Amino acid sequence: MKELTILHLYPKDMNLYGDHGNVLTLQRRLEWRGVTANVITYNVGNKFPAQPDIIFGGGGQDSGQDIIAKDLQTIAPKLKRLVEANTPTLTICGMYQMFGRFFKTLTGEVINGISIFDIETIGGNERLIGNIITQSDQFGEIIGYENHSGKTYLGKNAVALAKVKMGAGNNDEDGLEGVIYKNAIGTYLHGPLLPKNPRIADFLIAQALQNKYGKAGLTDLDDSLIEQARAIAKKRPR
């Protein structure tokens, strides 16, 4: 029986707008394919697990980011090694920002990130809130909900996840949303992201199976209800 371990980073302090639903989606889509999914949580001060197959981290208030910042630096070398070794990784909003170089908040405080992504984030006066639709080469249309004041700018080595069709995205200026580096994705999309965007869920799962068993072999699932939910979500106003 195949088995994967999903590592959920800092759920106590970083978990907004349904982010936990991403973990549930990965779990269910694995189970429906006969793969056992073990979910491990990592909070400040915990022991880092030996070999996670998928890494997930959700969004957080500035205060939550502050709480985890120091601890995150202690596990940064391990996270970097895992991302460099192609471990599928999904970071949302606050954790997306923390995987970058730094987040300078509106009050001028600089919260250091771990520089896995070549991005920088500056707190803005305006909150960027609402439903968002983006278009990506790899995953088609991506649908979600954003709520952040941080504005993220990609460095010259960074590749955006998608282009914004409706909403603000990284900074409401350059029309870009998220970042993708190796098998690691950063995005502002909550909602949660994965139930509405199963192609991304299956990308993470397929990469994890490939890494561990040398072959993904994903069977198709009936996603017709998801397609209906996506069609309805797309008609919602910003």
User: Is-catalytic flag, 93?
Assistant: yes
Q: How far apart are CA 221 and CA 205, in angstroms?
A: 13
119 part of the interface to ligand GLN, by CB under 6 A: no
Residue 85 DSSP code: T
- With CB under 6 A as the contact rule, the residue among 112, 115, 147, 211 that binds ligand GLN is 147
Q: Assess 148 for contact with ligand GLN (CB under 6 A).
A: yes
The CA angle 218-38-62, to the nearest 5 degrees, is 105
User: Quick one: how far is CA 124 from the chain centroid?
Assistant: 21
Pick from 61, 55, 67, 69: nearest CA to 186: 55
Measure the CA–CA gap between 30 and 219, rounded to whole angstroms: 10
Q: Which positions from 47 through 66 interact with ligand GLN, judged by CB under 6 A? A: 59-62, 65
* Coil, strand or helix at 39: strand
Our CB check for ligand GLN shows the closer of 62 and 71 to be 62
Residues 71-100 that bind ligand GLN (CB under 6 A): 93-94
The reply on whether position 186 binds ligand GLN by CB under 6 A is no
How far is Cα 120 from Cα 41, in angstroms, rounded to an integer?
Answer: 27
Q: Is 190 a catalytic residue?
A: yes
Q: Which stretch, 37-45, 47-55, 147-155, 223-231, contacts ligand GLN (CB under 6 A)?
A: 147-155
Residues at the contact surface with ligand GLN, assessed by CB under 6 A:
16, 59-62, 65, 93-94, 147-150
Residues classed as catalytic: 93, 190
